[in-house]
Chain A
Amino acid sequence: MALAQRLKRWGARGVNFGVLAAFATFAAFPFAWMLITTFKQTNDLLDPNHNPFVYHQPPTLEHLRILFFDTLFGRWVANTLFVGTSVVIITLALAIPAGYSLARLSGKFGEKLGIAIFLTYLVPSTILFIPLSRVVAILHLQDSLLSLVLVYPSFTVPFCTWLLMGFFKVIPKDLEEAAMIDGLSRFGAFLRVIMPMSVAGVLTVIIFTFTLVTQEFVYGLTFITAASNLTLSVGVPTFLVRGDVYFWGSLMGACFIASVPVAILYNLFVDRFISGFTVGSVKG
C-alpha cells in the first residue's frame, strides 16, 4: 500500500517534470538557438549536412564584431534608450497625477472614467497607424525619433494610469487625512506623503513603459524610413537583412542581445502587470 502510494507520487512528479521540461524547451528554444548561432562560423552555419546543434569549427566572435562595428546596431540601441527615456518621463508626468485623481478625487465617476481609459489601451496600433502617419507628416516629424516620443505615450499612459490608480487605492486614506490635519494641502499630502510610498508603483510603470517601447514595431515601421533613426525592434528585422542576404550570425546576436535583458527586467515585474491586465479579477 505504502509502496503503491509512493510509486504513484513519484509517477505524478515525473509527469509534472516532463510537462514543465517540454514547455520550457518550447518557450526558450528560439533564444537558445539565437545564442548558438551567434558564435558559429558562417560556413559551419550554412552547411545543411552539419549537425546544427554542434560546433564543427571553433566558435567565433566575428558576427558580434560585424554587428557592433559594421552595422547601425549601436545607433539603434542609443535611439531605443532615447525614445524609452523620453516616453518614460512623459508617461510619469501624465499618469501619476491622473492615477491619483482617479483613485481619490473623482468619486464614482472616476471609476467609470478609469475603465474607459483602460479600454483605450485595447485600441490597437493597427487601427491608428494610418491616420497617425498623416498627423506625423503634418507635424513634419517623419523620420524623426520625436514622432515615436509623441505617439508612444498614447498606449503607455492608459495602462500606466490604470496601474497607478490601483496602487494609490490601496494606500490608506487616513495617511493623507492626518497629513492634511497637520496643515498640508491635499496636493502637498499627495507629494510628500503618497509619492514616497509609491516608489514600487512608479518603478513598475518605468519598467513597463520601457519594455512596451522596446517591443513596439508598427509605428516605428510606419513613421521612420531612415536606417539611422530606427529603434531596435524595427531596425534589426528590417535593416540587418540586405536584399535577400541574411547574416544569420549577426542577426541572431542582435536579437539575443536586444531581447533577453529586456525580458529579464520585465520578468521581475510581470505579476503586477498581469493583475493590471485582469482588471483586478485575479487576486493573489
Chain B
Amino acid sequence: MRASTDVQTPHAESPVRRRTRLADNEAWLGRAMLAPAIIYIVALVGVPFLLALFYSVTNISVGHTEVRFVWLENFTSALQNPTFLRALKNSFLFAVFSQLLVIVLATILASALQKDFPGKWLVRLLILLPWVAPISLGSIGWLWIFEPIYSVINWTLRAIHVFGPNTWPIWLGQPNLAFASVVTVHVWRLLPLATVITLGGFSSIPQDLLDAASVDGAGFWRRQFQITLPLVLPIMLVALLFGVIFAFTDMIVIYVLTRGGPYDMTQVLASLAFFTGIEGGDLAGGAAIALFLFPLLAASAIFLLRVARRAEVI
C-alpha cells in the first residue's frame, strides 16, 4: 500500500495525467490480473475437491441416475474391507521405507557431489535422469529389468554365483520381492530431488564456519555431524516432505509394475481408488478411498507453511 501511494504521487501532481486510467488503478489492476488464475484454480481444484467430498457421502456410480446420501457408509465399509486396510498400510509403508532410504542415500550422494571435479555436469545429469524423465516410462524400463524370465538382475546374480543356476526369483510376483521392487523404484525416482535439495542446503553453509571448525581441530566426520547436518536439517525436512507426498499419493509405479498384485499385496490407496472408482465405476467408493490421503497431505501443508514462515524471518 505504501509503495503504491509513493508511485501515484507524481501522477496526482501532474495536470496532464490527472485522469484516472484503469491501467493505473493499482488495486483494480492487481485484482484483474490475479482473477483469471484464481478462478481457474478454484474451478478445477477447489470445486472438484468439494465434489470429491460430496461423492464420498453419496452412492453415486457411473450409469446410476438416482443419487442419495449414505453419509459415512462408504468410509465404514472401506474400513471393513481387508483390501482397503492392506492398501492403507502399504501407502504408509512404501512412503516410510522409500523416504528413509532416500534421506540416507541423498545425504551420502550430496556429500560426494560437494566438491567440483571435471565431468561433474555429466554425473549430475545422469543422477537427475530418474526425476526428470516421465515416471510411467521409467517404470516400464524397470518392468523389463524385473521381467520374470529375462530379468537382467537374475542373469547377473546367477553369473556371479549369488544364486544357484536354477534360481528364478519372480521380482514382481512374490509379495516380499514385489514390495522391495516397488520401494526400489520409488527410491530411484525420488532420490534426485532429495539430493539436489540437500546439496542446495550444503552450499548455503558459510565456508568460514567449516574452516574455523577445521582450525579448531574438527575432522571430516565431526564437521559433518556437528555442523553440516544440523544446519541442513530444516531443508532436508522439506525434501522429506515432498518425497513423502509424492510416494504416498503415487499410483503410476504401482499401476505399471504390479497393478496392485500379487493378490492386492502391493495395492495402495491411490491405485485402489482408481480401480474402484474408474475401472469399477463406483465413484463414491473411489472418492472415499482417495480422501483417506487427505489428512496426511493437510498435515504436510501445515508443516510447509511453518517452514516458509521461518524462512521469511531469516
Q: How far is the CA of A274 from the CA of B132 in the complex (A)?
A: 12
A128→B45 contact, CB < 8 A:
yes
CB contact list, B65-117 vs A, under 8 A: 105, 108-109, 112-113, 115
Stretch at the interface among B18-26, B208-216, B222-230: B18-26
CB distance from A211 to the nearest CB of B (A): 7
In the complex, whether B157 has a CB less than 8 A from a CB of chain A is no
Interface size counted on chain A using CB atoms at 8 A: 105
In the complex, whether B177 has a CB less than 8 A from a CB of chain A is no
CB contact list, A110-155 vs B, under 8 A: 110, 113, 115, 117, 119-120, 122-124, 126-135, 150-151, 153-154
A259→B138 contact, CB < 8 A:
yes
**Chain A residue contacts of B180, Cβ below 8 A:** none
Q: How far is the CA of A234 from the CA of B139 in the complex (A)?
A: 12
**Chain B residue contacts of A280, Cβ below 8 A:** 308, 311
Chain B, 128-146, contact with A by CB distance < 8 Å: what is the 0/1 string?
1111111111111110110
**Chain B residue contacts of A251, Cβ below 8 A:** 140, 144
B204→A283 contact, CB < 8 A:
yes
Q: How far is the CA of A124 from the CA of B271 in the complex (A)?
A: 13
**Chain A residue contacts of B144, Cβ below 8 A:** 33-34, 37, 246, 248, 251-252
In the complex, whether B263 has a CB less than 8 A from a CB of chain A is no
Q: How far is the CA of A173 from the CA of B4 in the complex (A)?
A: 11
B113→A279 contact, CB < 8 A:
no
Q: Which single member of B30, B140, B155, B304 contacts A279 (CB below 8 Å)?
A: B304
**Chain B residue contacts of A218, Cβ below 8 A:** 251-252, 270, 274
Q: Is the interface of B mostly helix, strand, loop or mixed?
A: helix
Stretch at the interface among A20-28, A56-64, A66-74, A197-205: A20-28
A181→B10 contact, CB < 8 A:
yes
Q: How far is the CA of A271 from the CA of B124 in the complex (A)?
A: 11
Q: Which single member of A30, A187, A188 contacts B142 (CB below 8 Å)?
A: A30
In the complex, whether A258 has a CB less than 8 A from a CB of chain B is yes
Q: How far is the CA of A92 from the CA of B245 in the complex (A)?
A: 26
B141→A33 contact, CB < 8 A:
yes
CB distance from B255 to the nearest CB of A (A): 8
Q: How far is the CA of A233 from the CA of B55 in the complex (A)?
A: 29
In the complex, whether B7 has a CB less than 8 A from a CB of chain A is yes
**Chain B residue contacts of A88, Cβ below 8 A:** none
CB distance from A189 to the nearest CB of B (A): 9
Q: Interface on B for A, CB 8 Å cutoff?
A: 1, 3-4, 6-7, 10-11, 17, 21, 23-24, 26-27, 29-34, 36-38, 40-41, 44-49, 51-52, 55, 105, 108-109, 112-113, 115, 123-142, 144-145, 147, 149-150, 152, 155, 159, 188, 191-193, 196-197, 200-201, 203-204, 234-235, 238-239, 242, 245, 249-252, 255-256, 269-270, 273-274, 277-278, 283, 286-287, 290-291, 293-294, 297, 300-301, 304-305, 307-308, 310-311
Closest 4 CB pairs of A and B: A105-B30, A131-B51, A98-B37, A97-B33
Q: Interface on A for B, CB 8 Å cutoff?
A: 16, 19-20, 23-24, 26-31, 33-34, 37, 45-46, 48, 51-53, 93-95, 97-98, 100-102, 104-107, 110, 113, 115, 117, 119-120, 122-124, 126-135, 150-151, 153-154, 157-158, 161, 173, 177, 180-181, 183, 185-188, 211, 214-215, 217-218, 221-222, 232-234, 236-237, 246, 248, 251-252, 254-255, 258-260, 262-264, 266-267, 270-271, 274-275, 277-284
A-B contact pairs, 25 of them (CB 8 A): A28-B126, A28-B129, A34-B144, A37-B144, A94-B37, A101-B29, A101-B30, A105-B33, A115-B308, A117-B41, A119-B301, A126-B269, A126-B270, A126-B273, A130-B55, A131-B52, A153-B44, A173-B3, A186-B26, A237-B140, A260-B133, A267-B132, A281-B308, A282-B200, A284-B204
